[in-house]
Homo-oligomer: A and B are copies of this chain.
Amino acid sequence: MPAKDEGNTLKRFGVNVRARRAAMELSQEGLAEKADLDRTYIGGIERGERNLTLISARRVAKALKTTVSELCEGIDR
C-alpha cells in the first residue's frame, strides 16, 4: 500500500496516459496492442493502480508516440 502522496503519483500518471490515449483517439485495446501489454493492465495504469517500472513506462510512452518525461508531468505533487 503506497502512502497517500505516492498513490497520487500513480493516479496522475494514469490521468496523463488516458489523456494522451484519448487525444490519439485510441481505445484501451488499441493501446494494449501497440504497447504489447494486456488491456486490463492498461486499465490498471489509467486508474493509478500500477506502479510501473521505467521500462514499462517507456513502452507505453512509445506506443503513445510521446516520452516518459511527458507522461510523468505533474506526478511529483
Contact = CB atoms under 8 A, between A and B. Distances in A.
A73 interface: yes
A48 to B, nearest CB: 10
A6 B62 contact: no
A32 interface: no
A67 B72 CA distance: 9
A42 interface: no
B54 A9 contact: yes
B54 A51 contact: yes
Interface string A43-75: 000000001111101100110000111101111
Interface of A: 2, 6, 9-10, 13, 51-55, 57-58, 61-62, 67-70, 72-76
